Amino acid sequence: MNRRNKQTTTYFILFSLLVMGVVYAILQANLQINGIAKIKSNTWNIYFDNIVINENSVSIGLDDTAATIDPENNCKVDFEVTLSLPGDFYEFTVDVVNAGTIDAMIGTLNKTLKVNNEVVSEVPDYLNYTVTYSDGVEILENHALNAGTTETYLVRLEFRSDIEELPDATTISTSLEPEYIQADSGAIKVSHVYNLLDTITQNAVIDNIASTYVTNANGIQFNAISSDTNGKGIYLRAGTENDTYPIYYYRGDVDNNHLIFANFCWKIVRTTDTGGVKLIYDGVPKNIYDQVPLDQSEYNYTNDSTYPFIYNAENESWTSSMKDDNSSATFTFNVKESGDYIISYMISSETDYDGVYFYKNNNELKFDSGKKNSTLLLNGLTTTDVISVKYAKDESDYDNDDIVIFTINELGDLLGVECNNTGADTHISTTDIKFNENYNSPAYVGYMYGDVYTYSSATGTNWYYAPDVTYENGTYTLTSKGSYNVEKKSTISGTNLNYQHYTCGSTTATTCTSVRYVYYVSSSTAYYITLTNGKKVEDALSEMLTNSSNENNSTIKIAIDTWYQSNMTSYTNKLEDTVYCNDRSIGTLNGWNPDGGNVTGSTWKDYSLMFSGYNRANTTYAPSLGCTNKNDAFTVRESGTGNGKLTYPVGLLTSDEAMLAGGATGGANYLNNNTYYWLGSPSTFSLHDAYEFDVNSGSLNNRSVIGAIGARLVVSLKPGMKISGGSGTSSDPYIVE
């Protein structure tokens, strides 16, 4: 043998890749029967197609042959190459196509390797030789190739660059012969592994042009709902296309962004500027079973005497007929054979009020309401078990849509899992959650918050008011500013206080140890915050919002952290520490502006404190994925862009992300789960209430932070995460490795 540093060595590779086998079990049987036997016409057609050679492969020499499909036998690929130097390689992909009508699988997989015409059992140590699927998954016996599908093989031969000794001139002959036969019950679906980011973004369209589901020449209009003409699919956010990691986002009523991670269902929202993938919680996966509907003769039943359920013999279903308020109808049954069963049902009712109850031997199994399709498993049911289905309505108004339809089915084989949850099933808790326990300060819009200045109110007539104050030796003094003076006001309505917000709250005094800042007036009532230690309104807003200490957890954060701690800590290493923005930057001060801010008006918008997110959603219609202040950029680790205040890498969706999804003013979009749930974006402080954004059946909404609604947390997968299966639909979700 020669030392590597003395000379290079040439060796040759001869390769043969055969797709063997035309085993066609159906047509091999001999039929001997009386009468006529009809065999459906089928075709068996498996072949190689579409060779693509890696452009960095070694060049083909005069005595070499590039990888080519045999023109007389499209089940054979041959090539001959020369690898002269360590590091040289030859690589190509080739498709294996099943263009027939019969599902196939690999019966046997014959591999042969010869060195100088002698068969060897192991690949020489100076050679890397692999034949896999294109994603690197090993090709195995029993792997399926269903009719109408294609698999791609990846062939690579490499002269290793890390060897210490060089071989003599050598001829390597290799062959791989996968024998495809007709598939049987032993066929195994190939578990491919794909890059999630690459998979979801391959059909993206930039969002500032007209496209298949966008008719406006300027692209998506965020002041309008998502639709078949204003966005449905995955889009590239204009302005990020040249970034290292452009932003892609889903919009509209799509059904290709479902994913299973950490044994929970999620919907993909968007990608991040670091290459991660942001997900919103969507409940628990449901098993899909083969179901055989039972005819009514296959079980004993008792129908409701007042409001009988109506039987449909065509699909073996029962439909409620009860429409009266404050009423109910009950259907009971027991099966004639013990076994595993499943009730499939569709309900359309008033959420949380009208609904369907399921009982087993008078013990409640489940309650459901709203508009949804769902199932109830009844494993191990005996002939003596009594199952009851009760549909009940409260005193709400009559609605012709109020209905429940169900079938009783024998449970078959497990076919897979699905993520088609709606309503409270998509929330982290069946109990509704407040955003914060208190509402009476702008501070309570915070996912975390620090100093709090709460509002007070009092009759404010005949007080002294001023445009400014000074502070010395523990005492505030009302002072003039510009053309506005210290004045006693007999009335405080209209624009009377727009430039004179400060008061000691006294009919006689113009000095005080604490001063009041009036931000809103209703008739003769003044609404104000109290300031001490020389602080002015700007200082209070800074301490509550821009420079909040973030030392107190909100109610919603406590609930999210508790759920995460119980369910997700073992998956933290698969999540990126991305920013969850709680944008408390101010868009419009109104009454909180001491230099002319409205303290009253014809609508609440005239005097309320508006956060920037509110203006983007209702005025400029320009969703932003940045976070104005680092203090609002919640992360686990402190960095140049994150505040380091989180315990776990989890948060809430923003109003801007909901706008991208299509929820600006409602309409059909994938965030619509027929319920309300919190977003993490402040909306307004109006009168005396802090308001946060929420989603209302897919539409952007806002409510007082002490309102109790659902919670759907958000996480972000690390860059480079792989998926091992699925197409992204609710019935076939992506599976994260």
Does any domain span residue 734?
Answer: no
Instruction: Provide mean pLDDT across the span 398-413.
Output: 84
- What is the count of structural domains for the chain? 4
Q: How far is CA 399 from the centre of its chain?
A: 33
Same domain, 100 and 163: yes
Same domain, 395 and 459: no
Residues 146-157 have pLDDT tens digits of: 999 999 999 888
Residues 277-331 have pLDDT tens digits of: 999 999 999 988 889 999 999 999 999 999 999 999 999 999 999 888 889 999 9
Which residue do the tokens 């620090």 mark? 450
Does any domain span residue 351?
Answer: yes
Label residue 397 by pLDDT band (50, 70, 90): low
Q: How many angstroms separate the Cα of 26 from the Cα of each of 29, 41, 177, 733?
A: 6, 11, 23, 34
Same domain, 523 and 625: no
Same domain, 532 and 572: no
Instruction: Provide mean pLDDT across the span 155-164.
Output: 85
Kindly state the greatest CA–CA separation across the chain: 116
Residues 606-615 have pLDDT tens digits of: 999 999 999 9
Same domain, 581 and 444: yes
Instruction: Provide mean pLDDT across the span 631-660.
Output: 97
Same domain, 172 and 47: yes
Residues 252-269 have pLDDT tens digits of: 999 999 999 999 999 999
Using H for helix, E for strand and C for coil, what is the string for 117-178? Answer: CEECCCCCCCEEEEEEECCCCECCCCEEECCCCEEEEEEEEEECCCCCEECCCEEEEEEEEE
Q: How far apart are CA 661 and CA 695, in angstroms?
A: 11
Instruction: Provide mean pLDDT across the span 217-234.
Output: 95
Task: Identify the DSSP state of 565.
Answer: H
Label residue 194 by pLDDT band (50, 70, 90): confident
Does any domain span residue 611?
Answer: yes
The two beta strands, 104-115 and 144-145, are antiparallel
Does any domain span residue 229?
Answer: no
Residues 674-712 have pLDDT tens digits of: 899 999 999 999 999 999 999 998 889 999 999 999 999
Residues 498-526 have pLDDT tens digits of: 999 999 999 999 999 999 999 999 989 99
pLDDT at position 22 is 38
Q: 480, 584, 482: which is closest to 541 by C-alpha?
A: 584
Same domain, 490 and 578: no
Does any domain span residue 328?
Answer: yes
Domain end, chosen from 182, 201, 223, is at 182
Quote the domain boundaries for residue 475. 451-545
pLDDT at position 189 is 85
pLDDT at position 625 is 97
Q: How far apart are CA 254 and CA 231, in angstroms?
A: 10
Same domain, 400 and 441: no
Task: Give rounded-to-5 percent helix, strand, coil for the chain.
Answer: 10, 45, 45
Domain end, chosen from 156, 182, 208, is at 182
Residues 358 and 345: beta-carbon distance below 8 Å: no
Same domain, 381 and 502: no
Same domain, 559 and 704: yes
Does any domain span residue 175?
Answer: yes
pLDDT at position 402 is 83
Contacts of 404 (CB under 8 A, 6+ apart): 319, 320, 345, 346, 347, 348, 349, 356, 389, 391
The whole-chain average pLDDT of the chain stands at 90
Label residue 59 by pLDDT band (50, 70, 90): confident
Instruction: Provide mean pLDDT across the span 110-119.
Output: 79
Domain end, chosen from 182, 203, 223, is at 182
Does any domain span residue 349?
Answer: yes
Torsions phi, psi for 388 (to 5 deg): -120, 140
CATH code of 408's domain? 2.60.120.290
Token duo for residue 635:
């992360």
Contacts of 309 (CB under 8 A, 6+ apart): 303, 318, 319, 320, 321, 329, 331, 389
Q: 725, 729, 728, 175: which is closest to 737 by C-alpha?
A: 725
Token duo for residue 595:
């230099």
Contacts of 341 (CB under 8 A, 6+ apart): 294, 335, 378, 381, 408, 409, 410, 411
Same domain, 509 and 560: no
Same domain, 562 and 673: yes
Q: What is the three-class DSSP state of 414?
A: strand
Q: How far apart are CA 597 and CA 484, in angstroms?
A: 14
Does any domain span residue 205?
Answer: no
Label residue 18 by pLDDT band (50, 70, 90): low
Task: Identify the DSSP state of 30.
Answer: P
